[in-house]
Structure 1
């Protein structure tokens, strides 16, 4: 039984992991296909990705959003992928006025964005505005920025943040590798704190989350977590979508504002 009074799926933190997930059939893609069945008909998709960082929060304002193939050394099939994404300049301008964002009219969608949107909205029939992370903003400031996106939710937007709860490519192994205990402990700790909305701990992860520095040698794949958490309303329950790790240590778990049976 759905115990969340917010029945619309309009906040989602989802993982993307290896670019090979774009063409794979596995537990992760099965989960994404099930999530896609819960997608309604939002007015616009506001997507945040680990792969776009600017000095300040910036939004795409172009009408057409070409794909950026920002990965290297993979099979040619990945570079042939298409997703005819359209932007929404009017919404971008409104975000600029309301939130003080900068605008960028010549950027496409990086794979952290289009790889997940391709699965969640395969018809590419919903306009998109991608919003960058800010290299000058703290984790708490990213959380506060997510709170500012709550008004967009109320006006028909869906907020999608794309990253990973654990992401250490230096220790990633091949497909089917045994899950590393340190990575599992870190993921479980993060998920528990997300479920409890322990924002103080999540904003100071090095001091409060087990094995965090090992799981995140760099921060960009963790930061989208905070934007997504900020977009939740105060009385909303966070629903955890637990999934198997990939490559021994890459978390593929997600969370949303409504129940999804996976």
Structure 2
């Protein structure tokens, strides 16, 4: 992966995939992932007009964008400590901009939908002052990697509007085999993640779209693939000649990959620098 840095607003408009992890991320302050969200992710969002998040936790039959003026904090998880349910991320949306995007890519709008934990959890750490408007775009409830890749392609023009696309899911997501004792990292998790990153670096889009049959341990890494689908939106939103930048790669609970990748358009960055 490249060692690119974000020295211009254009650099910070590179589409990004992040693994948002457990809702307990906001309380696990002694982990590499926490440090990434608090530090580096914040820097990678500086200077943008707005942030559009595609989260694994909002799925609809057809793509839908949230146009709420004030983004509600949705606590869409169960069995966690009460302070997590008391936490609020009081950030505004941008109804006019969201509506403009909806018209531009011909999708539906939802003026009541707020931010699920795949959206507000990263942002409450990266932008605690809620100083940049945030709104969401839904995933396709029964969509394939190809469907989400094509959805991402429709978002390529958002850079021109100053909108950063963040796709929030998980590089690996098998909750049944998490190691709560934080033992050694399971080899299957690293082998799957390494395969995905190698194919990204090689621009092997066909292999990535067919990960289910080609990637090692695909069914173990994703018994259900909803948390990987945001990755394909970010991949589609990247330019054809993207340069990948691995900005974070740690593991929690033995096999939960907290991988984050940005997809640069080096030509646009050099022009703006």
Q: Same fold (TM over 0.5)?
A: yes
Aligned length: 259
Quote the residue 1:117 is aligned against.
Answer: 123
What is the aligned partner in structure 1 of residue 271 from structure 2? none
1:84 to 86, 90, 93: 90
Equivalent positions of 1:221-236 (< 5 A) are 221-236=227-242
Tell me whether 1:22 sits opposite 2:44 in the alignment: no
Q: TM-score, normalised by structure 1?
A: 0.93
- Structure 1 residues 244-253 or 132-141, which shifts more? 132-141
1:168 and 1:214 in contact (8 A); partners too: yes
SS in 2 for 1:177: coil
Structure-2 change in CA distance of 1:77 and 1:96 (3 Å)? same
TM-score between both structures, scaled by the size of structure 2: 0.89
Bigger CA drift: 133-142 or 147-156? 133-142
Deviation of the 1:4 alpha carbon: 8.9
| SS of residue paired to 2:256 | coil
- C-alpha distance in 1, partners of 2:210/2:217? 13
CA distance in 1, matches of 2:142, 2:19: 23
Q: Which runs of 5+ in 1 are unaligned?
A: none
> 1:37: Cα distance to partner?
2.3
Name stretches of at least 5 consecutive residues in structure 2 with no aligned partner: 267-273
Q: What is the distance in 2 between the residues matched to 1:158 and 1:74?
A: 30
The C-alpha deviation readout for 1:65-105, integer Å capped at 9, x for no partner, is 11011111111111121211111111221122111211111
SS at match of 1:257: strand
Q: Is the 1:64–1:85 Cα contact (8 Å) retained in structure 2?
A: yes
Alpha-carbon spacing, 1:63–1:5, altered in 2? closer, same or farther (3 Å): closer
What corresponds to 2:62 in structure 1? 56
